Chains A and B, each alone.
Chain A
Amino acid sequence: MIPGSFDYHRPRTLEEAVSLLASLGEESRVVAGGHSLIPMMKLRMALPEHLVDLQDVAELKGIRIDGSQITIGAMTTQAEMIASAELARLCPILRETALQIADPQIRSLGTVGGNVANGDPGNDLPGLMQALDARYLLRGPGGERELPARAFYEGPFTTALDPGEVLAAVRIAAPAAGHGWAYEKQKRKIGDYATAAAAVLLELEGGTCRKASIALTNVGDTPLLAEAAGRALVGTAVDAAAVKAAAEAAKAIAAPAEDGRGPRAFRVHLTDVMVTRAVEKARSRAS
């Protein structure tokens, strides 16, 4: 499979990248790790005339931690996120989720920014970013703006990113110390997107849940924040009845596509199973 022809650009700064995109116009596209874009170009589902490669833009790389504020540069690879001991300590669900993306080779090039900007409902990080209430830092010709991840995804491969805008970083407020977390993903094999997956974060106080957020991957056109499911846990001891209520509420918003991963009813059922497992695991990890 041979992709269409394009001209290649490798800017050294974010400013240069943004002005290149502005001058090259609609037919230009950013390439990060290339592990969603190149497969689409091979299938000729994407035919950009210009590729603007961000690999040399140093300001888009790296993880910065300032108290409980985490900033992950868009060009940080998924492997680098997994390897960060500080992230594993402050916000371990990032590592748990990233370890379930694709395989080692793909994670060594695939970036955090590419994963969240891509807009494929199969991507795992967008769902997680719903649960974490992350914010995306966007940079365009008109300057910088910040958008909640919860307002970013509009449909399959359709996001709030304006043409010519670059996602520069993901910002996360680390969950409180002692929080419980889990990312549970059902997949057919290593390197497959989720049949269904659930991200859960919760906080306990004296055995009672005071805060919970639950989000779902690949059971809708976009990642889904399961607000009612999270609410079903708050104020409870996260006992069997509460877990069941949360799973039911999550199931109610699941609207998965029918594809090789199974019929709709099966994937809705798996949503229930993933949420149940993730809530139970998160509760067992909370202190």
Chain B
Amino acid sequence: MSKMHVKMTVNGRAVEALAEPRTLLIHFLREELALTGPHIGCDTSHCGACTVDLDGKSVKSCTVFVAQANGAEVTTIEGLAAADGSLHPLQEAFREHHGLQCGFCTPGMITRAYRLLQENPNPSEAEIRFGISGNLCRCTGYQNIVKAIQAAAQQMAVATTAPGEAAE
């Protein structure tokens, strides 16, 4: 049961390491790459705190072997802010609308919301609630999380249409 050579792109950076195939992706990210944004909440694929983006899909990284992610592109909460450190519109919106209290669910929640808005840039409230149904929050009661995602969606729509409008 030897270690294997794992290569992947994490937040735009090529990484390589030796790892046991059974290593869970969440442990690889947190312990090998020191990316402690994604959290371990339940360790049983229920809570969504460990959500990351894997090849353009939201996944629960506590239920993925590092071997399965070999060769993949991974984005964690650390990869959402711009290179100059300015926050992603979702991060801004969660701050602005109090989309968090203790913050434990937040990295998973925002990473999931990021993919949801890629798939559906203008979701209804019901679509947002269904889209984040794999992410549990013990504090907020979800109201402000939904508001924050709605606000971010609007903000991102403005950002993408702005250049066209300016040209008119």
Contacts and interface: CB of A to CB of B under 8 A. Distances in A.
Interface of A: 1-8, 10, 31, 34-35, 38-39, 41-42, 49, 51, 53, 55, 79, 102-106, 108-109, 190-191
A7 B45 contact: no
A105 B22 contact: no
Contacts of A3: 22
A35 B131 CA distance: 18
Contacts of A4: 22
A204 B1 CA distance: 58
Contacts of B134: 102-106, 190-191
B43 A8 contact: no
Nearest to B21: A8
B67 interface: yes
Among A4, A35, A55, A191, chain B packs the most CB atoms within 10 A around the CB of A191
Given A42-B43, A105-B112, A34 B60 contact: no
Nearest to A4: B22
Is the contact region of chain B dominated by helix, strand, or loop, or is it mixed? loop
Nearest to B111: A105
B67 A53 contact: yes
A38 B21 CA distance: 12
Q: Which 10 A-B pairs have the closest CB atoms?
A: A103-B134, A5-B1, A8-B21, A8-B67, A108-B57, A190-B133, A105-B134, A105-B60, A105-B58, A38-B63
A109 B63 CA distance: 10
B1 A7 contact: yes
Among B45, B51, B133, chain A packs the most CB atoms within 10 A around the CB of B45
A104 B64 contact: no
